[in-house]
Structure 1
Amino acid sequence: MHPAPSVIIFTTFSGLGLGLLFWLGISPDPHGGWVGFTFFFIAFALACGGLAASTFHLGHPERALKAFTQWRSSWLSREAWSAAGALAVMGLYAFFWVLLGIHIAPLGWLGALLCLATVGTTSMIYTQLKTVPRWNHWSTPALFFALSLGGGALLAGYINTAVFLIALSGAVQAYWFWQGDQRFSDSGTDLGTATGLGSRGKVRAFEPPHTGTNYLLNEFVYVVGRKHGDKLRLISLALSTVLPLLLLLTNPGHLLAVIAVISHVTGVVVSRWLFFAQAEHVVGLYYGKR
């Protein structure tokens, strides 16, 4: 699928921000004063900035509020409600703690749960799509959770926790890459099942459906060369997992910790680009692209 910059920004930075808010919400001894303000500011900036970016790939961004009306059937609507709840509760928690010095732990726990719910609903927007077999698997929400919590722990300065979770997210990411390559063929979907003519024998297209490009080809039949895809996968794993782990395990100071954060975020951006660019939509069968 076409990797729109808005959804890459959305899924990368909202996940990091919500992951940081999760750790701030469950911390038994959170930072107060200006230090606490700085942590909450970074978390809200990432979460709100990422969520705001998600509206830019809508055809009519002014209608985004209508997403709240479809919570019974739409994971996008559920994401909107859980995100609004998470930001409201964590905002209230931060107000009492940072500005008034009142630590209401249950409020932080509730906000942390809502942050996890938001990450989960975001992942389900993609996981539910049977038309994209690479996404339609339990490893997709596992990847979203691992990256959010690992990146959040890194931003929160929880080094030991970050080492474990970043290593875990790297393993999940590698599995997602490897297993995802087999998912389209394992789904059993081909031109025969798509047309309902498979029982008559092998089905092939007589000629291309269109003589030129169209919306479906532009948005759903984006193709990345295997050689380039493999290189980008190695780059994403090296930046998001290997380099941050090496830096964190050397007992880093502030400078190396900042480099680890930058490396991790850059690697996640690359992996998110691949998440969309290598998502083979079944509509590509009609154009001979699958």
Structure 2
Amino acid sequence: MHPAKSVIFFTTASGAGYGMMIVLALLASLGVLPREAGFGFATFGLAFTLIVAGLLSSTLHLGRPERAWRALSQWRSSWLSREGLAAVIAFVPLGLFAIAWSFNLVASSTNVVLGIVGAAVSLVTLYCTAMIYASLRPVPAWFNGWTVAGYLVLGPMNGAVILAFLLDAFDADQATAITRLLALVMLIIGLGVKMAYWRRIHTSAPVSTAGSATGLGHLGRVEMTGSPHDNDNYLLREMGFRIARKHADKLRRITVWSGFIIPMLAMVYGLVFPFEPLTLLFAVIGLVACQIGVATERWLFFAEAKHAVTLYYGEQAV
């Protein structure tokens, strides 16, 4: 599948924003989230910026972006529509949570309730986003539970890594330690999920072949003798993307090291040496590395997926 930059940015940025909100709600429920206006503006502001920027970016991949609002009416049958509705609904509790917490407008217990509701809707939004891809039977690489697990884990994981840096910058020692530990756990789980996903898409038996797609498999090996078209078309642009195995292996190594291992080391260093001068620097390194790794993982998620329609364009199996 074509790894469109707008969709990669959407899934990376919005996932991180919702992940930040989920972690912020958790910290609030534990009673360790700082109640400072400056901290509130920085953290909630960044989270909302990531969410909104990601959602706006997703509309750029539509044929008619100005009609994106019409997709909300198809919620009965479309996961894209459900994701859009969940995203809109999430703004209500998340916005109230951000404003009330930053300006200390209501009791902590009320804020916690708002945060928990917002976190729950954020998880629903991430789930709906995952199901946009996991519901596509013609793309076997996506049509499995590991796709959903990846979205539900990587968003909060990325959000925790970002918050670990912000909390450290604001000298919120207790919240920083908890967030580092949470980020470390999520990074370990995230790495496990991605390894399982890659193992599945590379070891599972093909769901369909050129023979089964054409109904000629009983006659022997089916191969294409000529291209169905003499020029490029929409199907080839959007679903016929190919990546060499050696390049995919290289990008997977970048994903593992940059997206998981380096941030893990940064979190461990911060937990072991919380007050060292280099701790904040390592937090920055872990943060930047994580963003590079997650973006690379998103690119691979699309680039390695094969649509069944490519069987009619020379692909032997999907």
Place the TM-score, normalised by the shorter chain, in its bin: over 0.9
Equivalent runs, 1:24-173 vs 2, <5 Å:
24-26=24-26, 27-28=28-29, 29=31, 30-32=33-35, 33-102=37-106, 103=108, 104=110, 105-157=112-164, 158-173=179-194
Contact 2:161-2:263 within 8 A present in 1 as well: no
What is residue 283 of structure 1 aligned with on the other side?
A: 309
Q: TM-score by structure 1 length?
A: 0.95
Question: More deviation in 201-210 or 86-95?
Answer: 201-210
Gaps of 5+ in 2: 165-178
Task: State how far apart, in whole Å, the 2-side matches of 1:108 and 1:219 are.
Answer: 39
CA RMSD of aligned residues (A): 1.5
Provide the secondary structure at the position in 2 that maps to 1:57: coil
Name 1:181's counterpart in structure 2. Answer: 202
Distance in 2 separating the partners of 1:172 and 1:94: 31
- Shift in Å, 1:51: 1.1
Q: Secondary structure at the match of 1:250?
A: helix
1:25/1:90 contact within 8 Å kept: no
TM-score, structure 2 length as denominator? 0.87
1:177, distance to aligned residue in structure 2 (A): 1.5
Task: Give, in angstroms, the shift of residue 222 of structure 1.
Answer: 0.5
Residue 211 of structure 1 and its aligned partner are, at CA, apart by 2.5
- Give the gaps of 5 or more residues in structure 1: none
8 Å contact from structure 2 (residues 130, 148) kept in 1: yes
Q: Is the 8 A contact 1:243 1:263 kept in 2?
A: yes
Q: Which residue of 2 aligns with 1:254?
A: 280
Query: Aligned-pair distance for 1:243?
Result: 0.7
- In the TM superposition, what is the alpha-carbon distance from 1:118 to its structure 2 partner? 0.4
CA contact (8 A) 1:134 1:280 kept: yes
Instruction: Give the secondary-structure state (helix, strand or coil) at the position aligned to 2:269.
Output: coil
CA distance in 2, matches of 1:261, 1:63: 36
Whether 2:28 is the aligned partner of 1:7: answer no
CA deviations 1:247-274 (Å, max 9, x no partner) are 2111262221121111101100001111
Quote how far apart the aligned CAs of 1:179 are: 1.4
Distance 1:282 1:266 in 2: 30
Specify the code of the residue in structure 2 equivalent to 1:177: W
Q: Whole-Å Cα distance in 2 between the matches of residues 101 and 166 of structure 1?
A: 34
Deviates more, 1:93-102 or 1:198-207: 198-207
Aligned to 1:229: 248
Deviation at 1:195, TM superposition (A): 2.4
Partner of 1:203: 222
Tell me the CA shift for residue 198 of structure 1: 3.4
Deviation at 1:175, TM superposition (A): 1.6
- Residue correspondences, number: 288
In structure 2, what is the Cα distance between the partners aligned to 1:201 and 1:236?
40
Q: Distance in 1 between matches of 2:83 and 2:140?
A: 22
